[in-house]
């Protein structure tokens, strides 16, 4: 399916899979290689993502790894303001996605820095405001930006039910562009993650683009008995599976390898 996302009036085609590079302005992300703290590191990372072929940069300022304690909204905003200002200055044409579960943070990112996409993984279990996504739904519908809806459900059936209900809510509020993320690593056991990956193509019944973010996650490094730093080959393998099952966006730490993966899978499908 030839999906498009309207990013500040620019139509981003997903006819061929796209790569979203991760930029974490946090000190505690599970993969140490993704942590960016200084302005110079942000500059280096935004250029690295675009030079290696990534169309999107996903900026996160509040870790959602299991067991993490979310920072305050004020601290999240402060971190994002620094990173988004640098990213806009250095790569003004890059599509900026902001990884947040807080509506006011989403508003700030879009209204002050022209963020193009809101990537909502949902509130971590320890957050006091995790009860409902309705305020975020209302916010993104008002802002008029593409929205990534993530599932924390453990299996295909519950994920489909959640997506069907929430997509209808978003549509009723006027939200146009919606991307679905099955949420690998969120609320799922190792076995449930792999079962959902095997069934990923069945989510295409929603007729919406799929984002897959499995880069260096525990479902890879625990299966292989390695560390996140040693999980690149496993990540490439599962990214290939995800593409063959219909993923439109790969959210990754290692952009060049993901771009090459997209090119090879696209070439294979086109030739056949």
Give the residue numbers marked as catalytic: 217, 251
CA dist 106 and 101 (Å) reads 8
C-alpha closest to that of 148 among 185, 120, 186, 168: 120
> Chain-centre distance of CA 199, in angstroms?
19
Measure the CA dihedral 10/256/250/33, to 10°. Answer: -110
Strand order in the sheet with 117-120: 178-181, 147-150, 117-120, 95-99, 56-60, 18-24, 249-252, 211-212
Q: How many CB atoms within 10 Å of residue 187?
A: 16
- Residue 206 in tokens: 């929603």
Strands of 85-237 (E only): list them: 95-99, 117-120, 147-150, 178-181, 211-212
Total Cβ atoms within 10 A of residue 272: 5
CB-neighbour burial class of residue 217 (10 A; exposed 0-12, middle 13-18, buried 19+): buried
Q: Check the CA dihedral 36-38-44-47 and report its sign.
A: positive
Question: Are residues 88 and 54 in contact, defined by beta-carbon separation less than 8 angstroms?
Answer: no
């Amino acid at each position: 399916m030839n999906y498009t996302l309207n990013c500040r009036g620019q139509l981003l085609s997903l006819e061929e899979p796209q790569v979203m590079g991760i930029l974490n302005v946090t000190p505690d992300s599970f993969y140490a290689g993704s942590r960016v703290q200084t302005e110079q590191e942000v500059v280096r990372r935004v250029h690295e993502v675009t030079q290696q072929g990534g169309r999107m940069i996903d900026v996160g300022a509040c870790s959602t790894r299991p067991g993490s304690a979310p920072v305050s909204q004020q601290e999240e905003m402060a971190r994002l303001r620094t990173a988004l200002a640098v990213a806009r200055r250095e790569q003004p044409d890059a599509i900026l996605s902001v990884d947040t579960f807080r509506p006011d943070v989403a508003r700030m990112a879009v209204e002050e820095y022209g963020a193009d996409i809101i990537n909502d993984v949902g509130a971590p279990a320890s957050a006091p405001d995790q009860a409902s996504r309705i305020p975020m739904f209302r916010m993104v519908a008002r802002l008029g930006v593409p929205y990534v809806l993530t599932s924390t459900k453990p299996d295909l059936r519950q994920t489909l039910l959640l997506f069907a209900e929430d997509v209808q809510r978003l549509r009723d509020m006027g939200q146009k562009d919606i991307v679905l993320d099955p949420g690998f690593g969120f609320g799922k056991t190792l076995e449930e993650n792999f079962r959902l990956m095997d069934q990923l193509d069945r989510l295409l019944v929603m007729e919406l683009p799929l984002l897959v973010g499995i880069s260096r996650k525990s479902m890879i490094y625990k299966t292989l008995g390695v560390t996140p730093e040693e999980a690149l080959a496993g990540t490439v393998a599962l990214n290939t599976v995800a593409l063959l099952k219909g993923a439109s966006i790969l959210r990754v730490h290692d952009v060049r390898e993901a771009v090459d993966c997209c090119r090879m899978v696209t070439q294979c499908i086109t030739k056949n």
